[in-house]
Amino acid sequence: MVVPNLYIDIGDIMSKLDLLIRNVDIVTMDDARMVIKGGYIGMQGGKISFASDSLPENIDSKNVIDGKGKIAMPGLVNAHSHSAMTLMRNYADDIALETWLFDNIFPIEAKLTEKDVYWGTMLGIAEMVKSGVVAFADMYMFMEEVARAVTETGVKANICKSPVQFFEGGELKRLDKSQGAIDYYNRYHNSADGRIKVFVEIHSTYMFNEKTLENAATIAKQLNTGIHIHLLETVTEVESSKRDYGMTSVEICKKTGVLDVPILAAHCVHLTDSDLEIMKAMGCSIAHNPTSNLKLGSGIARVPKMLEMGINVCLGTDGAASNNNLNMFEEMNLAALIHKGIAMDPQLMSAKTVLKMATCNGARALGFDDSGVIKEGMKGDIILIDTDKPHFYPKNNPVSAIVYSAQAADVDTVIVDGKIIMQDRIFKNIDEERIKYEVDSLSSRLLG
């Protein structure tokens, strides 16, 4: 006799999620529907399965987060940083960029070891994750150590390697390290389950020359990748470019083929109208670093004009030696305010515009096109902000709340590719106490 199977395996008819956030106010950054109140976000296989105001039927999840009193938004993207410069935080302040860089920073950087860069980067990542960053662009030395820190901590990063070694025996030599940049790309691009993207580094047109600019462009083209560059940060660079190349830094980049690949250009404070036209035509992304530019007295980039032209503008902190933190909430707040003040126009740089710069625009510039928006099919790169605090009441526009009221310490949970890397402000796989101990030990040797 055959006994009919009366039991149905629930798992077969229920869709099993890896992670569900319920009852949460969602700022999606999706223009089709910017805010969902009291909604649900499901994640499976690292991606967002749905973001909606009701829970789809037959849904079950391995992990559930109650989002009551919280805002869910795409994680922040720090589009320009030198994470290990946390080691030089509060060391050389209130001086001009060239003096700061050549007399204070370069001599310490000459002493840096792999171990220093690893722990400095770990400190930077810990600080960034605690302030809601899920992805960052980093340019520095011993970049293998940066890749290691990114791989271990679970964040995303666009990292780069220079095809030029500037100094040997304290002298500017510009030694060819092309193979190093190529090997670095081959080893790390799309590694850590796709959490790492690799660009080619051009520190700046003043540290390179025409030949090395051309060479860097050729390498990036061959690898089919982008370039991360500091561009026209100061008036001094405007003058040196005119002297050395007989044209602006943007023009020499165009001439040498640098702009033929995706460009992530930091600062862009002193661009002419014609430079801006070139940047727009070549599809370049610009990383605005308001705190660093103000602190080093470099000036203020014409961001409203860039945005009006349709240039992809994102937001970065720069290194902690010129900021002196890696707090994207401060950058958002500053970016929203300074341009209104300069132009005496409160309608410039709306909270939504600035939030786009800090999320989807940044993700695009770093090569993470599937991140920066909360909607089906995008990566589960999401942060939760605890709004059960006096400075969030009463609960009006959540986009304004993020840009104008929120603090970095309000970030409660950080999720990357659907995996929780911080919850209730506690890291899952970062040993914060160890990092603080190691950095304290290193810093007495470096700065002592």
Among 145, 318, 381, 412, which residue interacts with Zn ion (rule: CB under 5 A)? 318
Q: Shortest Cβ distance from residue 266 to Zn ion (Å)?
A: 5
Q: Shortest Cβ distance from residue 35 to Zn ion (Å)?
A: 34
Q: Please give, one letter per residue, the 3-state secondary structure of 278-316.
A: HHHHCCCEEEECHHHHHHCCCCCCCHHHHHHHCCEEEEC
Q: Shortest Cβ distance from residue 212 to Zn ion (Å)?
A: 19
Closer to Zn ion by Cβ: residue 18 or 318? 318
Q: Among 214-222, 314-322, 323-331, 406-414, which window interacts with Zn ion (CB under 5 A)?
A: 314-322
CA angle 410, 411, 415 (to 5 degrees): 165
Q: Shortest Cβ distance from residue 236 to Zn ion (Å)?
A: 15
Tell me the site size for Zn ion, rule CB under 5 A.
1
Q: Among 87-95, 127-135, 310-318, 419-427, which window interacts with Zn ion (CB under 5 A)?
A: 310-318
Residue 233 as a binder of Zn ion (CB under 5 A): the answer is no
Q: How far apart are CA 408 and CA 20, in angstroms?
A: 24
Q: Shortest Cβ distance from residue 443 to Zn ion (Å)?
A: 20
Closer to Zn ion by Cβ: residue 48 or 301? 301
Q: Among 65-73, 148-156, 257-265, 318-326, which window interacts with Zn ion (CB under 5 A)?
A: 318-326
Q: Among 96-104, 239-247, 268-276, 312-320, which window interacts with Zn ion (CB under 5 A)?
A: 312-320
User: Would you state the torsion angle of the CA atoms of residues 163, 166, 169, 175, taken in this order, to the nearest 10 degrees?
Assistant: 40
Q: Shortest Cβ distance from residue 321 to Zn ion (Å)?
A: 10
Closer to Zn ion by Cβ: residue 28 or 291? 291
Q: Shortest Cβ distance from residue 319 to Zn ion (Å)?
A: 6
- Please tell me the chain's helix, strand, coil percentages from 3-state DSSP, rounded to the nearest 5: 40, 25, 30
Q: Shortest Cβ distance from residue 289 to Zn ion (Å)?
A: 7
Closer to Zn ion by Cβ: residue 174 or 203? 203
Q: How far apart are CA 324 and CA 190, in angstroms?
A: 30
- DSSP H or E stretch at residue 274: helix 273-281
Closer to Zn ion by Cβ: residue 30 or 318? 318
Secondary structure (3-state) at 49: strand
Closer to Zn ion by Cβ: residue 100 or 329? 100
Under 8 Å between Cβ of 76 and 359: yes
102-121: which residues touch Zn ion (CB under 5 A)?
none
Under 8 Å between Cβ of 84 and 124: yes
Closer to Zn ion by Cβ: residue 204 or 407? 204
Q: Shortest Cβ distance from residue 125 to Zn ion (Å)?
A: 17
216: nearest Cα among 199, 197, 200, 198: 200
Question: DSSP labels for 119-188?
Answer: HHHHHHHHHHHHTTEEEEEE--SSHHHHHHHHHHHT-EEEEEE-SEEEEETTEEEEEE-HHHHHHHHHHH
Closer to Zn ion by Cβ: residue 78 or 312? 78
Closer to Zn ion by Cβ: residue 61 or 317? 317
Q: Please give, one letter per residue, the 3-state secondary structure of 314-353.
A: EECCCCHHHCCCCCHHHHHHHHHHHHHHHHCCCCCCCHHH
Q: Shortest Cβ distance from residue 85 to Zn ion (Å)?
A: 9
Q: Among 188-196, 302-310, 311-319, 337-345, which window interacts with Zn ion (CB under 5 A)?
A: 311-319
Residue given tokens 């960053």 in the structure block: 133
Report which residue type is found at 228: H
Q: How far apart are CA 327 and CA 435, in angstroms?
A: 18
Instruction: Residue 404: count other Cβ atoms within 10 Å of its Cβ.
Output: 15
426: β partners: 423
Per-residue contact flags (x/-) with Zn ion for residues 166 to 195, judged by CB under 5 A? ------------------------------
167: β partners: 172
Pairing of strands 285-288, 312-315: parallel
Residue 352, token pair as written in the block: 């939504």
Q: Among 46-54, 87-95, 168-176, 315-323, which window interacts with Zn ion (CB under 5 A)?
A: 315-323
Q: Shortest Cβ distance from residue 97 to Zn ion (Å)?
A: 10
CB nearest Zn ion: which residue? 318
Q: Which residues make up the interface to Zn ion (CB under 5 A)?
A: 318
